[in-house]
A and B are shown apart, each in its own frame.
Chain A
Amino acid sequence: MSTNILDEVTTGDYKYGFTTDIETDIIPIGLSEEVIRLISTKKNEPEWMLEFRLKAYRHWLTMKMPEWAHLNIPVIDYQSISYYAAPRKNTPKSMDEVDPELIKTFNKLGIPLEEQMALSGIAVDAVMDSVSVKTTFKEALSEKGIIFCSFSEAVEHHPDLVQKYMASVVPYTDNFFATLNSAVFSDGSFVYIPKGVRCPMELSTYFRINASNTGQFERTLIVAEEDSYVSYLEGCTAPMRDENQLHAAIVEIVALKNAQVKYSTVQNWYPGDKDGKGGIYNFVTKRGICKGANSKISWTQVETGSAITWKYPSCILLGDNSSAEFYSVAVTNHHQQADTGTKMLHIGKNTKSHILSKGISAGFGQNSYRGLVKVNPAAENARNFSQCDSLLLGDKCGAHTFPYMEVNNDSAIVEHEATTSKINEDQIFYCNQRGISTEDAVGLIVNGYAKEVLNQLPMEFAVEAQKLLQITLEGSVG
């Protein structure tokens, strides 16, 4: 045990009267004000950040876990979870030590070797000159005045921006999981695009390499100033394993006048084995606000992982003429459950929203679309179009659609379309007869079905996401 860690832990103890076994470097399980103080201390946070966390924690104590979702959630004992992500131990030293199954999947996805190493948890410094990569990115971005850093760094170096925008879209009282995140969040990303700047690159590659250890309570904040543009990609097509079963992230987006933010997610957390054992519970709160006139936010998500997904990337259309889009593909195979969709809240005049949701269920998977379109009385000429399609593979899975609409302005036009279809054996046999194997046939059909959503992804990810859909559904037909 190094003396540094010893120092850290003992310092923490003394300062806050918190005791722990110095031999283990694991803070006791459970959640209390002491634990939150300890997290804040370990992250060297200023007083205001700690106050925010404590406020959230105290509020969380008054809340109950939501039960309205079409999900079968096992009882979660919040006092049996460790809320401080200690650095990973036993990280592999080379690719020889990595699970061959994982490497096989990497290769199927066509992920470059360097990224494979990083994703397997091999120390990045050991395999590539990560410092120079980071520096190149940082230089290109900082020339334009763009800030792109970890949330912790932002708290330290840009406290004014963080204080101004954090929790301005998702308040700490928002919902059970968001409040929990506000109390204990580990880290995440911060993006700030200054006025009139178009971010010159997809904020993706850099993130993929660095995101493998962001932990279970991520927090991301993206602020796009007037007339700016950014495309941001979170997540990874590679299978992400994590010892922490409960994940509760927050993403907040603020788009000011004429700003455009495109946010893409590929979520592939460990879904559990084919009998439904293990797997991540993913309870995410994502919300953006089109604060200024003519602003635009677009969410694209490909959800293939996690045992349970509870996620509704939403938009508040406050600025006049602002618009929002939501494109989603959610796959549930084996015993996975997903309850996902979006909320579009029309407040400004001439606001537009477009929803396209594609659910795919296989095995015993349960897939629900849940969406709310709300038009406020002042939202003259609001437009919404929603399309929710479900595709079933097999007869033991389920697809459900829960569209909610609250229209309080007569000039609004709100449309909803839904379809359900099934891959049948005749289609598979037709493909077989042309020389296409059953698995490739399923991949072809599923990707055809999800095409409109996948087309929204940045180019290199669209290709990986296609392969990912096919791999996720391997063995689900036949």
Chain B
Amino acid sequence: MLQIKNLHASINGKEILKGLDLTVRPGEIHAIMGPNGAGKSTLASVLSGNQAFEVTKGDVSFYGKNLLELSPEDRSREGIFLSFQYPVEIPGVSMVNFMRTAVNEHRKYKNLEPISATDFLRMMREKKELVEMDNKLANRSVNEGFSGGEKKRNEIFQMAMLDPRLSILDETDSGLDIDALRIVANGVNKLKRTDNASIVITHYQRLLDYIIPDFVHVLYDGRIVKSGGKELALELEERGYDWIKQEVDAK
């Protein structure tokens, strides 16, 4: 579904991604790990179309479409979902209103009629249970006054509502206590199907105890320098990133 070839991207003239390649097929979970500043979050931003980053070289195709030509909102409507590392607060906009607008934009893109109020509320109720979200949260403004854990749960709730083909979880585990981590990971696992895929960006192996990846990639200095199965994550946990750095620098 997703093919990234030789992707170069920079911010304020500084190159962060330096020739990244990655292929994701339906049904797969890919974990991207790597030291600070390797470009993990940049990858998430570039794939979702954040204008702050400039793509200088390379191709990204998503189900045959040139992803880089699509606006951020069209990428979302095509089925790319980003769970933000730092979800922003939008005061005054209720979750209900926000989600209904988003869901209807997705439906409009597929030439579907807006969802009825009854169906929408039923959908909200179902998906909320998935991440054990408090009923009250849905009536509050988007992320306003949410705790760190609530914000992350809210991201997964939105993911469930929008049913993406590819979800990118950017450091979803950061700032979560062990209970919240379990809830979030459970939500992600329940949403897993053979026709969707996830890219899980994380710093620590911890999350991968709950979300079992099919592939683990190490991102270092803007490139994927090592790929392997889930055992690679454990090795990284044990040995840190220095040996990988040395391997790369030796080449």
Q: Using CB atoms and an 8 Å cutoff, list the residues of chain A in contact with chain B.
A: 421, 424-427, 429-438, 440, 444-445, 447-451
Min distance, Cβ A392 to any Cβ of chain B, angstroms: 14
A163 to B113 CA separation, bound complex (whole angstroms): 58
B106: CB under 8 A from chain A?
yes
Question: For residue A449, which residue of chain B has the nearest CB?
Answer: B92
- The answer to whether B97 and A436 touch across the interface, beta carbons within 8 angstroms, is no
Min distance, Cβ B111 to any Cβ of chain A, angstroms: 14
A445 to B158 CA separation, bound complex (whole angstroms): 18
Interface range on chain B: under 10, 10 to 19, 20 to 34, or 35 or more? 20 to 34
- The answer to whether A432 and B101 touch across the interface, beta carbons within 8 angstroms, is no
Q: Which residues of A contact B22 (CB under 8 A)?
A: none
A475 to B186 CA separation, bound complex (whole angstroms): 41
A421 to B91 CA separation, bound complex (whole angstroms): 10
- The answer to whether A449 and B91 touch across the interface, beta carbons within 8 angstroms, is yes
Q: Which residues of A contact B139 (CB under 8 A)?
A: none
A436 to B77 CA separation, bound complex (whole angstroms): 9
- The answer to whether B105 and A433 touch across the interface, beta carbons within 8 angstroms, is no
Of residues 125 to 151 in B, which have CB atoms within 8 Å of A's CB atoms? Answer: 141-142
- The answer to whether B162 and A435 touch across the interface, beta carbons within 8 angstroms, is yes
B187: CB under 8 A from chain A?
no
Bitwise, B92-114 to A at CB < 8 A (1) or not (0) is 11100110011001100100000
Q: How many residue pairs, one in A and one in B, have C-beta atoms under 8 Å apart?
A: 76
- The answer to whether B84 and A436 touch across the interface, beta carbons within 8 angstroms, is no
- The answer to whether B105 and A440 touch across the interface, beta carbons within 8 angstroms, is yes
Question: For residue A434, which residue of chain B has the nearest CB?
Answer: B102
A223 to B91 CA separation, bound complex (whole angstroms): 40
Question: Could you say which of B72, B109, B158 contacts A429, with CB atoms under 8 Å apart?
Answer: B72
Question: For residue A421, which residue of chain B has the nearest CB?
Answer: B91
B49: CB under 8 A from chain A?
yes
Q: Using CB atoms and an 8 Å cutoff, list the residues of chain B in contact with chain A.
A: 48-52, 71-73, 75-77, 81-82, 84, 87-88, 90-94, 97-98, 101-102, 105-106, 109, 141-142, 158, 162
Min distance, Cβ A228 to any Cβ of chain B, angstroms: 35
Min distance, Cβ B42 to any Cβ of chain A, angstroms: 14
Question: For residue A478, which residue of chain B has the nearest CB?
Answer: B51
- The answer to whether B141 and A448 touch across the interface, beta carbons within 8 angstroms, is yes
Question: Could you say which of B50, B75, B101 contacts A436, with CB atoms under 8 Å apart?
Answer: B101
Q: Which residues of A contact B88 (CB under 8 A)?
A: 424, 426-427, 430
Min distance, Cβ A435 to any Cβ of chain B, angstroms: 4
- The answer to whether A436 and B91 touch across the interface, beta carbons within 8 angstroms, is no
- The answer to whether A448 and B94 touch across the interface, beta carbons within 8 angstroms, is yes
A433 to B158 CA separation, bound complex (whole angstroms): 11
- The answer to whether A432 and B71 touch across the interface, beta carbons within 8 angstroms, is yes
Question: For residue B141, which residue of chain A has the nearest CB?
Answer: A448
Question: Could you say which of A427, A431, A432, A450 contacts B49, with CB atoms under 8 Å apart?
Answer: A432
Most chain A CB within 10 A, of B73, B84, B105, B141, is at B73
- The answer to whether A445 and B93 touch across the interface, beta carbons within 8 angstroms, is yes
Besides the contacts A432-B76, A437-B71, A437-B73, what 4 more A-B pairs have beta carbons closer than 8 Å?
Answer: A431-B102, A433-B76, A436-B102, A448-B90
